[in-house]
Structure 1
């Protein structure tokens, strides 16, 4: 029996757009759609933590994408989330628990690459996942804000410092693994010589 492909939940209040995203992804993934925030949370509850990635519209009537994202994180659901929205990113995104941010309109290739990236990130430990998410937020802000706006924003400065800390930790972890592998290889060579 083969393993099922990852499950992607598309949350979009414009049904035609949600169905288009689902069609783009349907050949590679299992896809469910929810046409609003309340329906998204009901669907997530029904799926019982089986969701691997969520594509989440930020501005929806009733229950916004921001509120859905907060509920997903509060419930401890372990999945990657990309905001796919017409809302231009602002410094408020720094406090949000998403992994990637796409500004509409989104092309098919971009959407597919984003989902692939989200799923790949899910394989890493928490520190690396955080590094990817923060780096994505930094890139979005740098694309949307002027250098002076970035320089004047304390939250952005803290984000930059946090990214540097996470990069240093990742480098140290990689170095430790490399040294451990070298150490083990040395013993294998020593055992082989006996």
Structure 2
């Protein structure tokens, strides 16, 4: 599970509001603030874990900043924190979550925790599937005797076992959070419906 302190970029054109968000998150996160789109684009790099992004800003909009983040291939989570009510245009947007202002301190903290946990889960899954693929290849190409005598293969099996536990623990933590419980139910229901059709 995620244990490092996340770096959060708050992009908000109302400085008082950006500073308030920074104060709310400052104890548990490394915070940067940007009061306009150009400053935000200059601040976003591979070191930023989470971006809290206002959609409606003068000059460079939050939508354009989001597109630029995804075009650059930056591996950060983005939550839109905005007064813009969601419409069908959000379907094609590359954000991870969406909060409609006004937001409370608890909501903001919760969304940052969820995004950090999801990042951890993604990393765990990527490593798990990469190692599982290597194991499957070795299982197909090597004899049982070769596999049993290999220390590297034994370490691979051990790491896969550890990752399996970590992935399960992280998924359990995600499921404890109300929004993700419903999301997982929806995903399960949708996959069952697809299989039956």
Per the shorter chain, which TM-score range? 0.5 to 0.7
Q: 2:68 aligns with which of 63, 71, 77?
A: 71
Deviations 1:52-75 (A, max 9, x none): 100000000100000000000000
Deviations 1:128-177 (A, max 9, x none): 9xxx9xxx8xx9xxxxxxxxxxxxxxxxxxxx89x9349989xxxxxxxx
- Counterpart of 1:7? 7
Secondary structure, counterpart of 1:77 in structure 2: coil
Shift of 1:123: 1.4
1:19 paired with 2:45, answer no
- Counterpart of 2:83? 86
* Residues 30 and 96 of structure 1: CA distance in aligned 2, closer, same or farther (over 3 Å): same
Distance in structure 1 (CA, Å) of the matches to 2:28 and 2:92? 32
Distance in structure 2 (CA, Å) of the matches to 1:102 and 1:22? 16
User: Alpha carbon RMSD of aligned pairs, Å?
Assistant: 3.0
Distance in structure 1 (CA, Å) of the matches to 2:38 and 2:192? 35
- Counterpart of 2:58? 61
1:147-158 equivalences in 2 (<5 Å): none
Deviations 1:44-101 (A, max 9, x none): 1xxx300010000000010000000000000000011000000000010000000000
1:99 paired with 2:125, answer no
- Counterpart of 1:37? 37
Secondary structure, counterpart of 1:84 in structure 2: strand
1:84-163 equivalences in 2 (<5 Å): 84-125=81-122
Q: 1:49 aligns with which of 46, 51, 57?
A: 46
* Residues 73 and 166 of structure 1: CA distance in aligned 2, closer, same or farther (over 3 Å): farther
TM normalised by structure 2 equals 0.62
* Residues 165 and 107 of structure 1: CA distance in aligned 2, closer, same or farther (over 3 Å): same
* Residues 4 and 119 of structure 1: CA distance in aligned 2, closer, same or farther (over 3 Å): closer
Distance in structure 1 (CA, Å) of the matches to 2:10 and 2:63? 15
Question: Number of aligned pairs?
Answer: 135
1:164 paired with 2:161, answer no
Structure 2 alignment gaps of length 5 or more: 126-173
Structure 1 stretches of 4+ moved >3 Å: 165-169
